[in-house]
Structure 1
Amino acid sequence: MSTTVPRIIYGTAWKKEATTDLVVKAVLNGFRAIDTACQPKHYREDLVGQAISELETSHGIPRSSLYVQTKFTPIDGQDLTQPLPYEPRASTEDKVDQSIATSLKQLGVEYIDCLVMHSPMRDKKQTLKAYRQLEQHHARGTVRSLGISNIYSASTLRWLIEESKVKLSVVQNRWHKGNRWDWEVFNVCRENGIMYQSFWTLSGNPSLLAHPLMRQLAEKYGITREQALFKLCSQIGITPLSGTTSEEHMKQDVEAIAMKDFEADEVEAVVNLIQ
Structure 2
Amino acid sequence: MRSSCALSCGTCCGDTIAGCSLLAEQELCVRHTQFMWKYCAGSCGRCQAAPPASEVCVDQELACASWAGRGDCGGVEDWCALSCATCEQSESVVTTADITLAAALPRPPIIYGTAWKGAHTGEAVVAAVRAGFRGIDTGGQPRHYDEAAVGEAIARLVDEGIAREDLWVQTKFTPEEWQDAATLPFEAGAAPEQQVAASVTASLRKLRMPYVDALILHSLDGREPATLLREWRALEAAHDAGHARWLGLSNIHSVATLARLHAAARIKPAVLQNAFWERSSFDADVRSWCAAQGVVYQGYRLMQAAGRLESWPGFSATAALNATSLSLWFALVGALGVLPLTGTSSHLSEAIAGVSLRVDAGTVQRLRPTEDLGGALGGGSVRR
| TM-score between the two structures when normalised by the length of structure 2 | 0.67
Which secondary structure does the structure 1 equivalent of 2:183 belong to? Answer: coil
Q: Alpha-carbon deviation of 1:210?
A: 3.7
Q: In 2, distance between residues paired with 1:77 and 1:227? A: 34
- The one-letter amino acid of 2:200's match is I
Q: Alpha-carbon deviation of 1:41?
A: 1.0
Residues 1:45 and 1:152: Cα distance change in structure 2 (over 3 Å): same
Q: Alpha-carbon deviation of 1:43?
A: 0.8
Residue aligning to 1:17: 119
Which secondary structure does the structure 2 equivalent of 1:114 belong to? Answer: strand
- The one-letter amino acid of 2:155's match is S
* Larger helix fraction of residues: 1
Residues 1:263 and 1:64: Cα distance change in structure 2 (over 3 Å): closer
Residue aligning to 1:87: 187
Residue aligning to 1:62: 163
- The one-letter amino acid of 1:252's match is E
Does the 8 A contact of 2:136 with 2:169 survive in 1? yes
The answer as to 2:280 corresponding to 1:186 is: no
Residue aligning to 1:256: 354
Does the 8 A contact of 1:214 with 1:225 survive in 2? no
Residue aligning to 2:47: none
Deviations 1:34-69 (A, max 9, x none): 000010111111110111100011x11021111000
Residue aligning to 1:38: 140
Residues 1:227 and 1:30: Cα distance change in structure 2 (over 3 Å): same
Does the 8 A contact of 1:217 with 1:228 survive in 2? no
Q: Where does the alignment leave 5 or more consecutive residues of structure 1 unmatched? A: none
Which secondary structure does the structure 1 equivalent of 2:200 belong to? Answer: helix
Q: In 1, distance between residues paired with 2:277 and 2:343? A: 16
**In terms of Rg, which structure is larger?**
2
Does the 8 A contact of 1:214 with 1:229 survive in 2? no
Residues 1:271 and 1:164: Cα distance change in structure 2 (over 3 Å): farther
Task: Identify the match of residue 240 of structure 1 among 340, 344, 349.
Answer: 340
The answer as to 2:107 corresponding to 1:5 is: yes
Identity of aligned residues (%): 36
Q: Alpha-carbon deviation of 1:213?
A: 3.6
Residue aligning to 1:172: 273
Q: In 2, distance between residues paired with 1:159 and 1:73? A: 20
Q: CA RMSD in A?
A: 1.7
Q: Where does the alignment leave 5 or more consecutive residues of structure 2 unmatched? A: 1-99, 377-384
Residue aligning to 1:52: 154
Which secondary structure does the structure 1 equivalent of 2:271 belong to? Answer: strand
- The one-letter amino acid of 1:144's match is R
Q: Alpha-carbon deviation of 1:220?
A: 2.8
Does the 8 A contact of 1:217 with 1:225 survive in 2? no
